[in-house]
Amino acid sequence: MRIELPYGKSTLPCDIPDCRLAGVLRGGLDSYTPAEPQKGLVEAALAHPVGSPGLCELARGKRRVTVIISDHTRPVPSRVILPPMLREIRRGNPDARITLLVATGCHRETTAAELTDKCGADIVARERIVVHDCDRNCVRIGTLPSGGELWVNREAADCDLLVSEGFIEPHFFAGFSGGRKSVLPGIASRGTVMYNHNAAFLASTHARAGILDGNPIHRDMLYAARTAKLAFICNVVINARHEVVAAYAGDCDAAHREGVQFLEGLCAVPAASLPIVVTTNNGAPLDLNIYQAVKGMSTAEMLTPEGGVIIMAAACGDGHGGEGFLRFFEQTPNASELLEQIEAVPAADTTPDQWQAQVLARILSRRRVILISRADPELVRRFGIVPACDFPDALRQANTLAGEDARILVVPEGVSVIPQLD
């Protein structure tokens, strides 16, 4: 059977003998047919907000309005979402001074070309855009329930109305993306992000994809959004083609929860554990680097037993994704030892990229990972990951590790599935 895997901006062919293929695990997003075109879905959500007045009403009398938008690592169709949001704001207050604040979290700065690709040339030329820097221009606005200091970008702290766009997908330790996540980690300081992403929180069994209730990371994030006075969100659900299939607007928790409920109905799928699991990070832009690819690996982790093999297809054109992330594995090559070291780090001493290293170390300490990518093979090996140049090469290596008769499960879009194990 041939399966085309999302890979960069294209696909990667994956040929598996029928006798070994245990199944192809897909959510229902790609087969779901929305009631309206993308633009209509967003406009309908804005016209019927959940748990909040409309954006037009909220904008009345507000002189400075900050709209948090996603960065280059997120496939949010901002060019679809932003125009109706901006129209609603200006309908409520034509004189509003609007700032688009790019929520980079601790990622690198979004480039001008990336902003144009995401938002469209008209918006980039017309609107005031500020790219968040987690090390500068932040102010303290409170203390998180976990005890960490809450610092956010001054453009958010000093505005009269704070709103955000975004998208909802399963998230490997925050439960789901979207909603409150625009503030923390989106526009928070590096120190605030690190405290929230501490080792004890990451080790919690509630800090997993598909879980919000009882998730300590989510609790801090929601508190941060409320404290920053995030008044309104417009979040979308997208399919593999990055098309809007549903939209939710309104209160940052209530509207987000409605979107989560819809998504769970499409992404939560019955599954069983298999010796070899093939998956991806949903292609570009999510498979930009090894750092981001950990998300798809974490889905495969749930579907493989201890000692199992994960074949990950992720283009990783930007390489490792973070010097600090790589440094963890260079300093402690043994994944089990690295995991033990990280889990002993107090919350206040969390260092950059520690959380991603913790999840990858957890995966590598119990499973073998083979990565099909465009990254330098030597770089891949420095993480303790086995490099492969294409799928046949990856399958040959997986056969050596798991056996030539080992059954194989394929999860074409690893970021969009929440496995429900028997």
Can you list the alpha helix ranges (DSSP code H) found in 53-153?
55-59, 78-92, 112-119, 121-126
Distance CA 419, CA 422 (A): 9
Q: Does 72 participate in catalysis according to the annotation?
A: no
Point out the catalytic residue in the list 72, 171, 256, 320.
171
> Looking up tokens 């399958």, which residue turns up?
395
Amino acid at 255: A
Query: How many angstroms separate the CA atoms of 117 and 133, rounded?
Result: 20
How far lies 189's CA from each of 85, 138, 183, 312, 363, in Å? 26, 6, 10, 32, 28
Measure the CA–CA gap between 307 and 183, rounded to whole angstroms: 38
The closest alpha carbon to 162, from 65, 18, 54, belongs to 65
Q: Which two tokens stand for residue 285?
A: 């832009």
Tokens of 415: 């970021």
CA distances from 405 to 36, 109, 336, 402 (A): 46, 46, 28, 8
Beta strands in 18-62 (DSSP E): 21-24
Residue in 107, 218, 256, 320 annotated catalytic: 107
Q: Is the Cβ–Cβ distance between 278 and 14 less than 8 Å? A: yes
Whether 321 contacts 231, CB under 8 Å: no
Our answer to whether residue 171 is catalytic in this structure is yes
Sign of the four-CA dihedral 28, 31, 33, 34:
positive
* Dmax (CA) of the chain: 68
Instruction: Find out whether 347 and 199 touch, Cβ atoms under 8 Å.
Output: yes
The residues that are catalytic are 107, 171
